[in-house]
Amino acid sequence: MRLFCFPHAGAGPSAFRAWSRTLPAGVDVLAIQAPGREARLGEAPFQDLPPLVTGVAGAVGAYDDCPMAFFGHSLGAIVAFEVTRELQRRGSDGPIRLFVCACRAPHRAPRSPPISGLPDAEFLEKLGRLGGTPHEILGQDELMALLLPGLRADFRLAETYLTSTTASVACPISAFGGRADPEATAEDLAGWALHTTGGFQFRLFPGAHFFIFDEPAGMVEALAIDLVGSR
């Protein structure tokens, strides 16, 4: 089985580097590498969701020789959900399970005001409060000048995304969240049940928005259980 991981805003494959050592044998971990991030930092980031979804669907659709599952964190959950819908529209088998983490259900509006259009200083201050970006990186002006276009583009994608309760996928969904996450509450996560015609699992773990990196053991164990159960 292949587990495709969709990173949060501004992140890339390195966010999931350790997962291949902790998941069951036979689970191959691959991470989405979008333009404007890590090794593709010099490329222009996507400003709109549809072309990103189309591009990713075309890439993962080539890996159809064994079952696949998707895991998306924050913005990555939105992208993974829409890629799953796109694969369904194309008549592909798509993932056998979709994992969404630290992300509001697609029909629920964001809880916080948008920050993607703020001046640089305010945007970086808000970014620091959210976590996920080390403060030593936030303090490097030259590096942040390179990262800001991709970060702004990613936040804009997340902030402007909203769809109806009728948008759904056929595969089961497992929703994971941090108990102290103000951006994706238990109510926000439970709403994902409306977006699948398959089964639905919902679990909360200690921590806030980036709990999967601060305290990953329990979540990775739950992910492994659901993966094995999906085979």
User: In the block, which residue shows the tokens 């020789």?
Assistant: 65
Residues whose CB falls within 8 Å of the CB of residue 78, separated by 6 or more in sequence, listed in order: 49, 72, 103, 106, 157, 158, 161
Query: In this structure, what token pair is assigned to residue 81?
Result: 């959900």
Q: How distant, in Å, are the alpha carbons of 169, 177, 228 from that of 180?
A: 28, 9, 28
Local structure of residue 23 (DSSP, 8 states): S
Active-site residue, 74 included: yes
Query: Residue 118 phi/psi, 5° resolution?
Result: -70, 155
Question: Using CA atoms in the order 69, 40, 62, 86, what is the torsion angle rounded to 10 degrees?
Answer: 60
Q: Which residues partner with 98 through β-bridges?
A: 70, 173
Q: What is the DSSP letter of 118?
A: S
- The SS3 assignment for 224 reads helix
Catalytic annotation, pick one of 74, 92, 164, 168: 74
Which are the catalytic amino acids?
74
